[in-house]
Structure 1
Amino acid sequence: MEELFEEVELEAYVYPTEDIEKVKRAMLNLVPDLEFETFERDEHIILTGRTRSKKALSRLYELFRGQAILDTARSFLEEGYFGEEIIVKVNKQAAYAGVVNFNEESPLGPITIIIRTKNPKKLMKWLAPRTKDGVPIE
């Protein structure tokens, strides 16, 4: 079976008022099996997490369905699709609580999710299919 994606990367700024472990937890609540790196930048740290795990998107798959936000997720995925990358931003505090919220407006900045894929249409169809009355139709 063809792979749906090559790599998933998450990135967030970690400010001095934040606990880096909590930001890591927020990221892991969205995508499991991340390997983290940190980069010092002026007054903040850039935290990135990467994975090539086959299960990387399983949590987002479950969250989109559990929260009944497939149509919203689909529109954000389509909006963030450029070539072989799909980029979406989600609220950091919501992610820490184990929820996906595409409202990235937050004083602490969003978590950026970058999905690298050779077949973005197939990936979007699997991750967030079109729905009718909340039921997937694809």
Structure 2
Amino acid sequence: MKIPSINCTLEMNCALHPSEDPEKVKTSISNIFPYSTIRTEDFSVVAQSKELRSFEKIYETVHSKKTQNTYRRYLEKNLDNDTTWFYLNKQAAFVEKIAICEQPEESPLGPIKVILSSPNIDGIIDWIVLGN
């Protein structure tokens, strides 16, 4: 896998419910996005990265499971100028599995919302789904 040199910002956030252990939610995010800075806010966990390599586990899953069309559909459907987003199942992420959600309700304790921003967002989408 060759990671392109494209400026980007990755943001991951999810609600933190009273019944959840904040450390386990942080683990869910760090399992999928290892090169991110994670912090707990009032009722959420937020992570950020400016490195596209933070997306390598998603990239590997997309290509090993042949889910390029699914990711392209979500990334293009949610595209707004230079930003796009999608949801991941928080519980699956805790056990290092990547499961995209169409609706937030598909993740019982709420999903991880992944937001990608870049002046070359089309290049990032192409890299994710085509490997370019």
State whether TM-score is above 0.5: yes
| Preserved CA contact (<8 Å) 2:62 2:71 | yes
Q: Deviations over 1:60-93 (max 9, x none)?
A: 1111112221111111111121111111111111
Runs (5+) with no aligned partner, structure 1: 130-135
Q: Whole-Å Cα distance in 2 between the matches of residues 54 and 122 of structure 1?
A: 12
1:25 is matched with 27
Aligned pairs, how many?
127
Give 4+ residue runs of structure 1 displaced > 3 Å after superposition: none
Q: Residues 1-138 of structure 1 correspond to what in structure 2 (within 5 A)?
A: 3-40=5-42, 45-103=43-101, 104=104, 105-129=106-130
Alpha-carbon RMSD: 2.0
Question: Which of these two proteins has the greater Rg computed from alpha carbons?
Answer: 1
Bigger helix fraction: 2
Q: Whole-Å Cα distance in 2 between the matches of residues 28 and 63 of structure 1?
A: 16
Residue 54 (structure 1) shift: 4.1
Q: Whole-Å Cα distance in 2 between the matches of residues 115 and 58 of structure 1?
A: 13
| Preserved CA contact (<8 Å) 1:10 1:48 | yes
Bigger strand fraction: 1
What TM-score, normalized by structure 1, do the two folds share? 0.82
